[in-house]
Structure 1
Amino acid sequence: MAAATAGRLAMLIFACGGLCAVAPAGPAAAPVAVILDTDMSGDCDDVGALAVLHALADRGECRILAVVTNRRDLTNASAAAVDVINTYYGRGDIPIGTDKQAPTALRRRSTFTTVLRDEFPHHAGPDDAMPDALKVYRETLQAQPDGSVTICSIGSFSNLAALWRAAPDLVRQKVHRLVVMAGEFPVSSKPETNIATHPEPARIVVAEWPGEIIWQGDEVGRVLITGAGLKSVAKHNPVRRAFETRYQFLSHGPAAIEKGKPSYDQAAALYTVRGSEKEFWTLVRGGRVELAADGNSNWVETDGSAQAYVKIAGDPARLAAVIEALMVAPPKLARVRHED
């Protein structure tokens, strides 16, 4: 499955010289103001998602207002990894905040965050010495126009629940949309990782979040295989290094860059900025997500809900080609070397 998808992906990128894969589908619009809420630790698709946002920012499609981490990794280096990517793309001034509470389950020691921290320029300190995620959320939202901010959540719900409980009026006033990578739809076969990591905050957000939530389930990213194309970029590229040093849990191999890996978070980042492009997505409305007692996510039909979930329209390889091309695109703001 992965090899076949990677082959079709390479053909699609080659056929258009890598250019058609990154072009926005519609006319130019105002840049989407984004806060990324990421568990930058266990899986390198978070690095890929941040790279996608920077590539879209380079094209004038979004502004990255802040990045907050939502899983306190055992390496204490999640913020440093975020700052490495931001710095590489010429945006080292983006505010970064960290969640100071460890998740209640699935605690991990990252295989790539310390590599990025130790090999690349950055200014971030250890996670426990960084500004609190809630503080960064508050300050960032307060500085933005009403109804203008889109939050992309690709990890635990801990920061979102804390923000909602601490500043509900700020959420109602400033947040336009919440895009969430979590669950499996319409019915999950087992609790998805981002929900299982910290179940209680997930229940709070699912039940109480006041505005629009667009859900992207595990089943979406699972069939979007990307990352192998990073072999073609410069060896000092931190996105490449993250995929080179992220190994499958337990078996410790192969590296994610060898054949690529599912693009759970990259797809959510892309949707956050470009929205429901009809050639790539089908948007399912008329219901809401409910979490069962065991943590499984279920789509329940109901009227008047502001929630929806997305399905891939057409060949997943076409969408994967868009993601891959954005991930390998060189930075436009930073002065970096492009030789091997």
Structure 2
Amino acid sequence: MPRKIIIDTDPGQDDAVAILLALASPDDLDVLGITAVAGNVPLTLTQKNARIVCELAGKADIRVFAGCDRPLKRPLITAEHVHGKTGLDGPALPAPTMPLQDTHAVEFIVETLRREPAGSVTLCPLGPLTNIATAMTAAPEIVPRIGEIVLMGGCLFRGG
């Protein structure tokens, strides 16, 4: 039985590869949805990039939700110097045609964790943890319902 996951992401190139790998593994992973957060580039681009990657993978049925557009306690610092102006600079990729969901990403995370059996959903944050922290703050009862959190993290210039 595939593991149910929510991918929380700020797609630049590294997140795009992670999303492609997850979507190419349906026997192992059931992607319940992808939640976008501002990070490598602003939210207007991360939600667009998540949809582009889904379409590139042939998975336009995956729901993508826009979330938090800035960190909780500091100004947004983006990484265009690493990922380019769009976050996916390099190949020419068409604009997505699949819709962005109307529900806020935080609401989707909370509703999903409340609906699914406790311990059955893994959160997979690939970027800033703003959506995850906001969901946990808004609905603390979801925290013990999370199966696990598997995240991509670290830092290039400092230990982390």
- Which bin holds the TM-score, normalised by the shorter protein? 0.7 to 0.9
Quote how far apart the aligned CAs of 1:176 are. 0.6
Give the letter aligned to residue 135 of structure 1.
E
Give the letter aligned to residue 16 of structure 2.
V
User: Where do residues 1-340 of structure 1 align in structure 2 (5 Å cutoff)?
Assistant: 30-40=1-11, 43-57=12-26, 60-71=27-38, 73-74=41-42, 76-103=44-71, 104-109=75-80, 110-113=85-88, 119-125=94-100, 131-173=103-145, 175-183=146-154, 190=158, 192=160
Quote how far apart the aligned CAs of 1:112 are. 4.3
On the 8 A contact 2:7/2:124 being kept in 1, the answer is: yes
Percent identity over the alignment is: 24
Give the letter aligned to residue 150 of structure 1.
T
Quote how far apart the aligned CAs of 1:65 are. 0.6
Quote how far apart the aligned CAs of 1:52 are. 0.5
Quote how far apart the aligned CAs of 1:75 are. 7.3
Aligned Cα root-mean-square deviation (Å): 2.9
Are the structure 2 counterparts of residues 141 and 115 from structure 1 closer, same or farther at C-alpha, using a change threshold of 3 Å?
Answer: farther
Gaps of 5+ in 1: 1-29, 193-340
Are the structure 2 counterparts of residues 180 and 74 from structure 1 closer, same or farther at C-alpha, using a change threshold of 3 Å?
Answer: closer
Partner SS for 2:21: helix
Are the structure 2 counterparts of residues 37 and 111 from structure 1 closer, same or farther at C-alpha, using a change threshold of 3 Å?
Answer: same
Are the structure 2 counterparts of residues 76 and 130 from structure 1 closer, same or farther at C-alpha, using a change threshold of 3 Å?
Answer: farther
Are the structure 2 counterparts of residues 116 and 124 from structure 1 closer, same or farther at C-alpha, using a change threshold of 3 Å?
Answer: farther
Give the letter aligned to residue 156 of structure 1.
P
Taking the aligned partners of 1:156 and 1:36, their CA distance within structure 2 comes to 12
Are the structure 2 counterparts of residues 99 and 154 from structure 1 closer, same or farther at C-alpha, using a change threshold of 3 Å?
Answer: same
Are the structure 2 counterparts of residues 95 and 142 from structure 1 closer, same or farther at C-alpha, using a change threshold of 3 Å?
Answer: farther
Quote how far apart the aligned CAs of 1:120 are. 4.7
Partner SS for 1:156: coil
Taking the aligned partners of 2:133 and 2:18, their CA distance within structure 1 comes to 22
On the 8 A contact 1:80/1:117 being kept in 2, the answer is: no
Taking the aligned partners of 2:19 and 2:137, their CA distance within structure 1 comes to 27
On the 8 A contact 2:7/2:33 being kept in 1, the answer is: yes
State the Cα deviation string for residues 25-44 of structure 1 (Å, max 9, x = none): xxxxx21111111111xx30
Quote how far apart the aligned CAs of 1:113 are. 4.4
Taking the aligned partners of 2:46 and 2:52, their CA distance within structure 1 comes to 10
On the 8 A contact 1:37/1:67 being kept in 2, the answer is: yes
Compare relative contact order (CA 8 Å, sep 6+) and give the higher one, 1 or 2: 2
Give the aligned length: 152
- 4+ residue runs of structure 1 moved beyond 3 angstroms? 108-118
More helix by share: 1
Partner SS for 1:91: coil
Are the structure 2 counterparts of residues 89 and 74 from structure 1 closer, same or farther at C-alpha, using a change threshold of 3 Å?
Answer: closer
Which has more radius of gyration?
1
Give the letter aligned to residue 107 of structure 1.
T
